[in-house]
Amino acid sequence: MLVGADVMYRLLKISKYEDMELATLNRMTREFLTGTFNVFEFMTDLGLTNMHQIGQMYSDALDTLTTKDEYVELTGAMMTYVIRMHRWIHFIFPWNLGVAFPHRKPAEVLAFSKVVAAA
């Protein structure tokens, strides 16, 4: 959600600055979304199997833009999509898995070790 609701929103916001050039905007966008850490690959790892491919299509489309208005249209659509897909993570990820790994108090752990030592 941070990618869509935070990073992409901020990119859209700075795209409105008069002195922001399209080339700089595209470079910043790639750095934040696919540079050091590719958020689209990460979303694929979380179970959204097409996100890496869609992210690559978005990144490739940045090269075809000729105006900042086109950037706003493309990035706004991508932001909406990313937000919706990230919400799916909360639906498909097995959050209930944590029930199988309850937290133990120190006294419980100590009691386990005594049982094992006695065996």
Give the pLDDT confidence of 63-102 residue by residue, as tens digits.
Answer: 999 999 999 999 999 999 888 877 777 777 777 777 777 8
**Residue carrying the six token digits 């094992």:** 116
Domain ranges of the chain: 2-118
Is the pLDDT reported for residue 49 higher than 80? yes
**Residue carrying the six token digits 């752990």:** 109
Cβ within 8 Å of residue 22, ≥6 positions away: 65, 66, 67, 68, 71
Across the range 43-70, mean pLDDT stands at 91
3-state SS, residue 81:
helix
Length of the chain: 119
At 86 the pLDDT is: 75
